[in-house]
Amino acid sequence: MTEIKLHNTYTQRIEPLKPINTDGVVRMYCCGPTVYNYAHIGNLRTYIFEDVLRKSIIRAGLKIRHVMNITDVGHLTSDADSGDDKMLLAAEKEKKSVLEIARKYEDKFFEHTKALNIARPDIVCRATEHIADMIKFVEKLEEKGYAYFQNGNVYFDTSKFKDYGRLSGQNRKDLRHGARVEEDSNKRNPSDFVLWFTTSKFKDQILQWDSKWGRGYPGWHIECSTMSIKHLGERLDIHCGGVDHIAVHHENEIAQSEAFLGHKWCNMWLHGEFLQMKNDEKMSKSKGNFITLDTLIEKGYSPLAYRYLVLTSHYRAPLVFSYENLDAAASAYNKLKNKYAEFASDSGEPISDNAQKLYESLVDEFNGYLLNDLKTSQALALLWKVVKSKDLPSSLKVKFMDNADEIFALDLSKAEDKRQTALTDEISALIEERKQARLNKDWQKSDEIRDLLDKKGVIIKDLPMGEVEISFK
Ligand code: AMP
Ligand code: ZN
């Protein structure tokens, strides 16, 4: 077993990961997607980081139990307790039920993560299937004096939790002026947050459950505390998410969980930086300035070229997305695959002792980068050094690449991506031609092209706002 060191947001230090529980299994909880829309490639960057983390923990010789939630209850348009219900807005727009929306985007999420070779967490849990547990959780917080009922909602009293704000380094009083927490006259303190709503602000709030406080629905933060403790127990090794979750969501999770348990809950907090657009803007679902994996596929990119791009940056550094960057990544990725094929077809020269020793030291160096806070860009640079090396025979290069690919998961040994094969220039051109026909309201032509694509094994589904969803037979 080798030690793995990771940056802990809570302490602001790089620390060795030491499993807390006596069985030695690392318990990891990652905040999952809100399923009222597609996960965008920014969200997917965070899930790629978490996948590299999971694979690196396994590389360090540790066992892991990895849990992720699906936020399929109503979700507000802001992190605070205000705004519209995003799920309801999507249901109205797409003329579907709220649960149909949730399942549709959950399925899409797993289709995308699969295409990116992101391993499915050991347990995936839906918020709507844990409402009774959440109610019990809130009842206990109330019994312990951490929650209060005011004007139909149950609030968490942050003044009762002395460490509130520690993760983000914010003082509780500073939050008074914080832009992200909206004024609510029912709150005793500005940083208090809702645990259970019964006074729905939304017309036709659909997903509601009975509780001792009345019919209603849970606040967003309570789902992660409840499901994490239910599936991973009282002591968590790692909790992950994107940096946007630090200040409100994760701060609130800590307050609830530690108030509920009466002791420290999670040891290490890891946060992935944003994928940004060129103009410094965060890619965001609610702003609507986002790109999905389907868009990249439609443009002819392999999903794994995007994974390659993500690996070129460190997870704690922002990554700027542009098609020029993606083109460069796709070209390097293809070269890497071609090199693999070239080395694998080489009849082979004998492996000298020196070459064997060199190979072993390079593997150690590679592991060293990953096990020291997931330095993927350095590990990738080393992979290129191996590819270009004059001191290693092809067989050891292939062995090194296979070993690296256990973590990179770029399918280096596979000939060509199936999706990419399906999206030939001809098919991309047909999709584009159909888009134009639809813009010109030439429905007959649009249908003809759809039938033609269908014959070629490509299924096109039209979405509102002129978007299309592409799948393969
Ligand atoms: P959501 O579905 O919006 O709750 O987000 C799912 C995950 O993606 C969370 O861990 C977020 O912190 C993360 N995330 C949101 N926006 C971005 C972005 N632009 N870049 C990277 N990660 C993001
Ligand atoms: Zn969460």
- Residue that terminates a domain, selected from 414, 430, 445: 414
End residue of a domain, out of 272, 303, 324: 272
Q: What is the chain's Cα-based Rg?
A: 24
Q: Is residue 46 part of a domain?
A: yes
Identify whether 287 is part of a domain: no
Closest residue CA from atom 12 of ligand 1: 242
Asked whether 33 lines ligand 1 (CB < 6 A), one says yes
**Mutate which of 38, 244, 269 for ligand 1 pocket (most atoms within 8 A of beta carbon):** 244
- Ligand 1 binding pocket includes 216 (Cβ within 6 Å): no
Same domain, 235 and 257: yes
DSSP string, 160-226: G-TTTTTTTT--TGGGGG-TTS---TT-SSTT-EEEEE-S--STT----B--TT-SBEE-HHHHHHH
Q: How far apart are the CA of 318 and the centre of ligand 1, in A?
A: 13
**Ligand 1 contact, 43 CB (< 6 A):** yes
Same domain, 228 and 80: yes
- Residue 395 CA to ligand 1 center (angstroms) comes to 40
Q: Is the CB of 271 within 6 Å of ligand 1? A: no
Buried/exposed 205-221: b ≥16 CB within 10 Å, e otherwise:
bebbeebebeebbbbbb
CB 153 within 8 Å of CB 343? no
Nearest residue to 407 (alpha-carbon basis) of 365, 379, 372, 378: 379
Closest Cα to atom 8, ligand 1: which residue? 43
Indicate the top mutation candidate among 43, 273, 279 to test ligand 1's pocket, ranked by most ligand atoms within 8 A of CB: 43
CA distances from 21 to 25, 239, 261 (A): 7, 15, 16
Of the ligands numbered here, which is closest to the C-alpha atom of 87?
Answer: 1
Point out the ligand nearest to the CA of residue 246.
1
> Residue-wise pLDDT tens for the chain (473 aa)?
689 999 999 999 999 999 999 999 999 999 999 998 899 999 999 999 999 999 999 999 999 999 999 999 865 544 444 556 677 777 777 777 888 889 999 999 999 999 999 999 999 999 999 999 999 999 999 999 999 999 999 999 999 999 999 999 876 555 444 344 556 788 999 999 999 988 766 555 678 899 999 999 999 899 999 999 999 999 999 999 999 999 999 999 999 999 999 999 999 999 999 999 887 677 877 777 789 999 999 999 999 999 999 999 999 999 999 999 999 999 999 999 999 999 999 877 889 999 999 999 999 999 999 999 999 999 999 999 999 999 999 999 999 999 999 999 999 999 755 444 456 667 778 888 888 888 888 888 898 888 888 877 788 888 766 667 777 76
In a domain, 100, yes or no: yes
Number of domain units in the chain? 3
The domain of 461 spans: 422-472
Whose alpha carbon is nearest atom 11 of ligand 1? 242
122 and 102 in a single domain? The answer is yes
Q: Is residue 81 part of a domain?
A: yes
Ligand 1 contacts CB of residue 249 (under 6 A): no
